[in-house]
Structure 1
């Protein structure tokens, strides 16, 4: 049976996680507002449920969902730093890593054993992409981001995001069905850009050379 201390720790983390409902990401929704971290995580979870039957390998679904749900939990403390910010200023990568590691260590301490260590290990497994389940979770993370961009007004896109639409291959090469899903999402982006008068052939060439 759980102790009062353990349940209070769970409540503390749930209170912390509530921040993800208003911690905003760079992505915009189709309605024209910025999405929250919690919304990104929710649709990643749904993507995992819907794609699980089509993955090439059998997967521990409980572990996959845990990994998806906790992967951005640290942003409740560390905040969300867009990859675009890091691309513009590479020195921010170390700052981001330090903040996130401190946040996951604080989370492990707050939750105690054994739950704290489980969350801690799942987070690092996701970050290191050392297993099939971690690679799948990372693929969903990248694919959901592009899917959201596709659904947003193209006026919200930054120039680098045109190129990023064609740079998802390395996240899905380990699974043919994820590669197919990536191709469909990439085609949506391609059509969206063409509809706004963008020369996507030039962008594809540039992205391929990256």
Structure 2
């Protein structure tokens, strides 16, 4: 039996798929705005951030969370940034305008995939909306992952580049939505404090030797 000459309308055409994947490259090359503004050397890309969030989601297997859905939410939550860039609170854009820009970008992305009726495009759009609303248990957890990945990365940059990035920790204080997210954050805080104490002890010891 001959192979079908075209796919069902529910599946993007080859051209639509490659157009979409080409757009996604922007997530690989665009650096995260917060790190760029703080002068971090070789800052992570948007895709770097999303990748580690996806792995975070894998770690919640066996809990009350649907980890497959958490992984999908992690992959999709910043997808609009491929078109609008990484808009942060320091960019002078209101939350309302940010959401409007990103929602329009997601509509454009759905159109690239064939519009309504494309299974992948519909799911991507629905996942992005779920994350934005932040009402499901999985969306709440992934919003915590978004902040967790940021403070973990801040801690790593502090250690590797000798920076002080306190504002990133301040911006997440008291904003954890889940007990799991809060407990992981506390582990990051603990390790950051231990690292600071080790640096202080080394500096004190060097001062005595001098």
**TM-score > 0.5, shorter chain as reference:** yes
Deviations 1:172-192 (A, max 9, x none): 3x33x3322121012223344
Measure how far apart 1:96 and its partner are.
Answer: 1.9
How much is the aligned-residue C-alpha RMSD, in angstroms? 2.6
The TM-score normalised by the length of structure 2 is 0.75
The TM-score normalised by the length of structure 1 is 0.75
Q: Runs of at least 4 residues of structure 1 off by over 3 A? A: 1-5, 154-159, 189-197
Deviations 1:55-105 (A, max 9, x none): 3x1x3332221111011111010101124x15xx4x443332222111011
Distance in 1 separating the partners of 2:106 and 2:148:
24
Cα distance change of structure 1 residues 67 and 5 upon mapping to structure 2, 3 Å threshold = closer
Cα distance change of structure 1 residues 159 and 24 upon mapping to structure 2, 3 Å threshold = same
Q: Is the 8 A contact 1:150 1:192 kept in 2?
A: no
Q: Which residue of 148, 155, 168 maps to 1:161?
A: 168
Q: 1:101 is matched with which residue?
A: 103
SS in 2 for 1:27: helix
> Which structure is richer in relative contact order (CA contacts within 8 A, separation 6 or more)?
1
Measure how far apart 1:195 and its partner are.
Answer: 5.6
Distance in 1 separating the partners of 2:135 and 2:192:
29
Bigger-Rg structure (1/2): 2
Aligned length: 184
Q: Is residue 49 from structure 1 mapped to residue 55 from structure 2 by the alignment?
A: no
For structure 2, which runs of at least 5 residues remain unmatched after alignment? 1-6, 201-210
Cα distance change of structure 1 residues 5 and 64 upon mapping to structure 2, 3 Å threshold = closer
Deviations 1:100-119 (A, max 9, x none): 11101111222222332221
Measure how far apart 1:8 and its partner are.
Answer: 2.2
